[in-house]
Amino acid sequence: MTNEQNPKMVLIADDDPTSLLMLETLAAAFKLETVTATSVAGAKRLLKQVTPDIAILDVLFPDGDGVDILLEIRGAGMPTAVALISATLEEFPFHKCEENQPDVIFKKPIDGQAVSSWIERHIARLSDGPIPAETSHQAQE
């Protein structure tokens, strides 16, 4: 578990360079240590080395989907808050999640303010122990 002396870590996984840069910029604004991946395989490799406090994951990758990364995090029992980002909620693979739901789902295009608010709320709760699931669909019109 992260304490006040250690930086909080975020895993960002997205294969779109523009989205990745935007999410890295948001994390930097909170002075988070950031690790990034542009594939499901890359994210899974990182999860063998680090336990992020926060994970922000795109859903669609050429080698799988962000739900596979979510399942890896939940299966390992990591105390990680997970946000998934999907272009269309209609095509979101909810069936794969089963009881391993993400904490939040954001719809593309990414609303930087909504993601920032979620990160800020999560950072504030880290000292209060585990975060209950807060699955919500924040769709942008």
Tell me the pLDDT tens digit for each residue of 65-98: 899 999 999 999 999 999 999 887 776 777 777 7
Instruction: Tell me what pLDDT residue 98 has.
Output: 76
**pLDDT at res. 137:** 38
Most confident of 57-66, 90-99, 126-135: 57-66
Cα distances (Å, whole numbers) of residue 70 to 3, 26, 113, 123 = 23, 21, 23, 19
- 3-class SS of residue 60: strand
* % of residues, the chain, pLDDT over 70: 82
Average of pLDDT values for 117-125? 91
What the chain holds in terms of domains, given with CATH numbers, is 9-138 (3.40.50.2300)
26-40 residue pLDDT tens: 999 999 999 999 999
Q: How far apart are CA 123 and CA 87, in angstroms?
A: 26
Question: What is the rounded distance in angstroms from the CA atom of residue 70 to the CA atom of residue 89?
Answer: 16
Phi, psi of 35 (to 5 degrees): -120, 140
Q: How much helix, strand and coil, in percent to the nearest 5, is found in the chain?
A: 40, 20, 40
DSSP state of 109: S
pLDDT band for position 18 (cuts 50, 70, 90): very high
Main-chain dihedrals φ then ψ at residue 12, nearest 5 degrees: -115, 125
pLDDT score, position 99: 81
Lowest mean pLDDT among 34-48, 60-74, 88-102, 105-119: 88-102
